[in-house]
Amino acid sequence: MVANRNILENNKMEDQTKSKGGLNTLALYNVAFVVSNIEDSIKWYDNILGFKLLMKQAIPVEKGELQMAFMEGAGMKIEMLQNSDSQLIHAIVEDSKMDAPPTVISSKALVFQVEDLKVATKELEDKGVEFLWKERYLAEGALFCTMALDPDNNRINIFQSNTVIQ
């Protein structure tokens, strides 16, 4: 009984120390990544996945400019950055193109879900998308997915919604 009272008192103290509008309102805003050609990436995410451009802007930086584009689709926002001084890290590119678990520490994939993976995979095929694999179960009877690549070989993983972890 004393232990339960202490837990309740600690929880009450934690609730009192939380700021209104602070971390208790934390939510995902967007996913950001660097691209080699912002115009090509805008077209790809629009034509292939249906994302719409919200804003595009150039920001002066020490060695040129940073191109920034925000797009929205699939219930989320993405932020793409192209720096005139960007460097391609070949280990990340090679790792993303391997049909094996990733070995380089970096982002792994932009992950989506659809109702019918076979239909979505066919639609991507018809649009000429490059695939790492198509229609594969990652776990026994679960996590049915297709792994596509965007123009910079960023992995785009699409799961069938009735096979994902709930």
The pLDDT tens digits of the residues spanning 35-73 come to 999 999 999 999 999 999 999 999 998 888 999 999 999
- 22-86, what's its fold? 2,3-Dihydroxybiphenyl 1,2-Dioxygenase; domain 1 (3.10.180)
Find residue 33's DSSP bridge partners: 80
- Confirm if 50 and 96 have CB atoms less than 8 A apart: no
- The answer as to CATH 3.90.1150.10 being correct for domain 88-166 is no
- Confirm if 41 and 33 have CB atoms less than 8 A apart: no
User: Taking the alpha carbons of 117, 120, 125, 129 in that order, is the dihedral positive or negative?
Assistant: negative
The pLDDT tens digits of the residues spanning 87-102 come to 666 666 676 777 776 6
Among residues 137, 140, 135, which one has the least CA distance to residue 117? 135
88-166 and 22-86 share a CATH fold: yes
Domain-wise residue ranges, the chain: 22-86, 88-166
This prediction has a pTM of 0.78
Residues above pLDDT 90, as percent of the chain:
60
